[in-house]
A = this chain, B = another copy of it.
């Protein structure tokens, strides 16, 4: 297993049920349900457009509790869109990490061991949608087509979603160790 480490640049909570935007906080309490106070917390979730296999509203186990972005990848998205900055809050990120190359491509079951004791497990790449692009657009009303350009500009850069393996507290500034499972290509 390859190992590497990073740093928590920011901790964020999306507390408004109707908005994906998150807000910075110095630290967060983490339970088996996710980040306390975040709209994505819960052991069970109802499916939406991301789960075409299920009728909308089906109850399934929530493996998308936490949204994790990379500081370096956010800067790359901004460069791709020719704008000064893309803030973590606009994408509804719960954590922004630095120092982990190609964070968005961390494979499923990658474990993130945080210094203060929390463990998060990567479920999947978070595919970029136009909705996040619309929020970026609101901050740059004079730049054309940001919302429509966002999905392509952010592909493989928008971070990952994860679930909580071990509860505790995550604080801004702490370190995180990354454990990547051995990848064996599956071929028929």
Q: Is A147 an interface residue (CB 8 A)?
A: no
Size category of the A interface is 35 or more
Number of copies: 2
Contact with B along A27-61 (1 / 0, CB 8 A): 00000100000000001100000000110001111
User: Are the C-beta atoms of B165 and A63 separated by less than 8 Å?
Assistant: yes
Q: Which residues of B contact A85 (CB under 8 A)?
A: none
Q: Which residues of B contact A123 (CB under 8 A)?
A: 109
User: Are the C-beta atoms of A188 and B124 separated by less than 8 Å?
Assistant: no
Q: Which residues of B contact A188 (CB under 8 A)?
A: 2, 4, 101
Q: Is A105 an interface residue (CB 8 A)?
A: yes
Q: Is A121 an interface residue (CB 8 A)?
A: yes
User: Are the C-beta atoms of A183 and B181 separated by less than 8 Å?
Assistant: no
Interface residues of A in 163-188 (CB under 8 A from B): 163-166, 179-181, 183-188
Complex Cα distance, B183 from A94, in Å, reads 25
Complex Cα distance, B61 from A105, in Å, reads 23
Q: Is A106 an interface residue (CB 8 A)?
A: yes
* Residue in chain B with minimal CB distance to A188: B101
- 21 example contacts (A-B, Cβ-Cβ < 8 A) are as follows A2-B186, A2-B188, A4-B188, A32-B44, A43-B43, A58-B166, A59-B166, A60-B119, A60-B165, A61-B163, A101-B188, A102-B187, A105-B186, A107-B107, A107-B108, A107-B186, A108-B109, A108-B181, A109-B123, A156-B184, A185-B185
